[in-house]
Amino acid sequence: MMNRNRTKKYLFIFFFIITALFAWTVFAQDQAQAEKPKIPFNPFTSVMDLVSQWCIPLIIFGIAFYAYAMKKVKVYEAFVEGAKEGFNVAIRIIPYLVAILFIIGIFRAGGAEKIFIRMVKPITNLVGVPPSLLPLFFIRPLSGAGARAVMIDIFNHHGPDSLDGLIASCVQGSTETTFYVIAVYLGSIGVRRTRYAVPACLFGDLCGMIASVVICKFWPWPF
C-alpha cells in the first residue's frame, strides 16, 4: 500500500510539473506572437505540431523516470546494454542498404526510372498516388531492408516533408514484411499448407497503404 501511494504521488507531481510547463510556454508564446502575427493560427494544426514535437523527449524521460523511481531498474546499465545492441543492428543493415541503393543508382543514371514513372503515371494519377511510391508498395511485403532503403531514397530525393516522403513514412510505419514473417513463423513449425494466411495478411497491408495515402493527402500538415 505504501508503495502504491508513493507511486501515485510521484505521478501526480510529474504530471503537474509537465502541465505547468506547457501552460507557461503556451502563454509566453501567445504574447510573443501577438507582436508579430505571421502565420494564420490554426488551433488543431498547432496543437498537433506541439504534441508531436514534445512527444519523443517526454517518452524518453517518462520511461527512464518510471523505471528508475518505481521499478528500481539500473537505468544506466540497462541503457548501455541496449545501446550496444543498437550498434549491432545498425551495422547489420549496411549490406542490405547498399544492395538496394546501388540498384536504384543504376536505374536513375541509366534512365530506367524515368521510363518506369512515365509508364505508371496514367495509373497512379487515376488513383492519386505519387508514382515514386509504387516501388515501395511492391517491395514492402517482400523485404524489410529493401523497403527501408526505398523509403530513405524517397526522403533523399523528394525530401521527408514532401507528400511522397510523408506517405512513405506512413506506409513504412503501418505495414510489415508480410511474406518474411509468414515464412519464418510457419516455417519454424514445419507448416506447409498456409491456407488463407497470405491473402488475409496482404489485405491488412493493403488497408494500411490505402489509409496512408488517403490520410496523408488530407492531413493538415504544419509545414
Taking CB under 8 A as the binding criterion, the range among 4-12, 23-31, 109-117, 121-129 that sits at the site for another protein is 109-117
Q: Which of residues 5-64 bind another protein (CB under 8 A)?
A: 48-49, 52-53, 55-56, 59-60, 63-64
Q: Which of residues 201-220 bind another protein (CB under 8 A)?
A: 201, 203-208, 210-212, 215-216, 219
CB neighbour list of residue 210: distance below 8 Å, 6 or more residues apart: none
Q: Is 87 in the site for another protein (CB under 8 A)?
A: yes
Instruction: Return the number of the residue (94 or 123) whose C-beta is nearest another protein.
Output: 94
Q: What is the DSSP secondary-structure string of 21-64?
A: HHHHHHHHHHHHHHHS--SPP-HHHHHHHHHHHHHHHHHHHHHH
Q: Is 80 in the site for another protein (CB under 8 A)?
A: yes
Instruction: Return the number of the residue (18 or 152) whose C-beta is nearest another protein.
Output: 152
CB neighbour list of residue 130: distance below 8 Å, 6 or more residues apart: 124, 163, 164, 167
Instruction: Return the number of the residue (35 or 40) whose C-beta is nearest another protein.
Output: 40
How many angstroms separate the Cα of 122 from the Cα of each of 5, 52, 119, 210?
A: 63, 36, 7, 18
Nearest distance from C-beta of residue 19 to another protein, angstroms: 20
Nearest distance from C-beta of residue 11 to another protein, angstroms: 14
Taking CB under 8 A as the binding criterion, the range among 1-9, 30-38, 122-130, 179-187 that sits at the site for another protein is 179-187
Give the separation between CA 29 and CA 24, rounded to whole angstroms: 9
Nearest distance from C-beta of residue 8 to another protein, angstroms: 16
The one-letter amino acid at 203: F
Site string for another protein, 131-170 (x = CB under 8 A): -----------xx--x-xx-xx--xx--xxx---xx--xx
How many angstroms separate the Cα of 204 from the Cα of each of 174, 186, 199, 211?
A: 9, 18, 9, 11
Site string for another protein, 185-204 (x = CB under 8 A): xx-xxxxxxxxxx-xxx-xx
Helix (H) or strand (E) holding 217, with range, is: helix 197-218
